[in-house]
A and B are shown apart, each in its own frame.
Chain A
Amino acid sequence: MPAFDHDLVIIGAGPAGLTAGLYAARARLNVLLIEKAVPGGQIIVTDWIENYPGFPEGISGFDLAEKMKNQAEALGLKMETAEVQSLKLTPDVKEVVLQEKTIQAKSLIIASGASPKKLGIGEDRYMGKGISFCATCDAPFFKEKTVVAVGGGDTAVQEAIYLTKFVKKVYLIHRRDELRATKILQERAFANDKIEILWDTVATGVDGFFGIEGVHVKNVKTGEEKTLKADGCFLWVGTTPNTQFLNDLLDTDAYGFIRADARMQTSVPGVFAAGDVRDTPLRQVSTAVGDGAIAAVSAEHYLENEFT
């Protein structure tokens, strides 16, 4: 038997990982949570969350993350800041390779989340200079200016509405002829004078010297192309899983999201996936929290069956 450092290692301190950590700590497992940046995950950049039950007035993403972190730590969860480089998975031991050491665990929960997808329209050149994925971070820099928001899901529509508190006008461009966002958000967007929706339209590029001056768009039905004069371009066109360390060790769907069953068990026994990194039909705080709880209990069962 290898000399194990931990019963369970959790990768990622978003809502899924923090909930898994909370359950594992209460189960008195020897558990470590590893986070590469700061606790909270994507909700850190969410200005307002009003669909997580228990907060009738809504709550800022940052505050919710703080509360989740404090609750898990109060129950005994230990956390470490490090970026996972790779994994080594055998039936006996799950190894988590960090820059400075390798951790040996009996079981693993991957809750590394997802990141905003790029469109390849110049994000690297213009990131922080007009292109943004975070309205709550960057909207105030575009006071009384015109911006483009790309996407049609919940995030795109909610953040476009948030942008109107600051900007003069938002062009919301969406590649289809209807929004996918939940109806209450659609109603608010349609009623907002500052939002003009361009249907069947995609962004093809941006230009500008210091920052953005224009966003090139194309109507996918008519083929018509034009340039919208705008100072900023916010992208919310879905997410891509944070699995750079995975190296095809686990089954994934076509987009790289980790396949797991109803018990959050992946294709490798003892390795579980939870939250946005999983191939799940809905990516919300509420679903991530549920995933995290199930993954922790499944890990506990696995440890009982395999190691006692």
Chain B
Amino acid sequence: MTDKIIELDDDGFEENVLKSEKPIMVDFWAPWCGPCKAIAPTIEALEKTYGDQMTFAKINVDENPLSPSKYGVQAIPTLIFFKNGEIADQITGMVAKEKLEQTIKDTL
């Protein structure tokens, strides 16, 4: 059994992301963003495979403006991979499943 994709907010960002024991991928998204919706099934599928090694999380940038601004996110979807509280990798825009999977493996 693995965890599902967790929903973050600005208040809990530090606690849940920077202090996360497992590596964590944060998906910066918004409801108006077509590509964000399009990439979501790929992320869900990868969560099923890698969910026990990495935490998968998402944050709605409309409701939580502080975190995207802190990390310079000016385009979505942006996926930021954190390991031990530091940014390990970052992907902006639509990517192939293989590229995303490779980035997950590299982060782990």
- Contacts A211-B74, A232-B74; A134 near B98 (Cβ below 8 A): no
Contact of B34 among A37, A62, A132 (CB under 8 A): A62
| Given contact pairs A44-B34, A136-B32, A136-B34, A37 touches B95 in the complex (Cβ within 8 A) | yes
The answer to whether B72 has its CB under 8 Å from any CB of chain A is yes
CA distance A146 to B37 in the complex (A): 27
- How many A-B residue pairs have C-beta atoms within 8 angstroms? Tell me: 86
Contact between chains at B41 and A128 (CB < 8 Å)? no
Residues of chain A within 8 A (CB-CB) of B92 are 127-128
How many whole Å from B96's CB to the nearest CB in chain A? 4
- Bound-state Cα–Cα, A130 to B75, Å: 8
Nearest A residue to B34, CB-CB: A62
Determine the chain B residues whose CB is within 8 A of the CB of A89 once the complex forms.
Answer: none
CB distance from A75 to the nearest CB of B (A): 20
A38 to B45, CA, bound (A): 13
A45 and B78 contact, Cβ closer than 8 Å, known pairs A36-B96, A134-B93? no
Q: Any chain A CB within 8 A of the CB of B105?
A: no
Binary CB contact string for chain A from 27 to 63 against chain B (1 if under 8 A, 0 otherwise): 0000000001111100011110000000000001110
Q: Is B33 an interface residue (CB 8 A)?
A: yes
Chain A residue contacts of B96, Cβ below 8 A: 36-37, 81, 83
> Which B residues have a C-beta under 8 Å from some C-beta of A?
30, 32-39, 41-42, 62, 68, 72-78, 92-98
Binding site for B on A (CB under 8 A): 36-40, 44-47, 60-62, 65, 81-83, 99, 127-130, 132, 134, 136-138, 140-142, 210-211, 232
Q: List 17 A-B contacts (CB under 8 A).
A: A36-B97, A37-B94, A37-B97, A38-B38, A44-B35, A44-B94, A45-B94, A60-B34, A65-B38, A81-B42, A127-B92, A128-B78, A129-B75, A138-B74, A138-B76, A140-B30, A211-B74
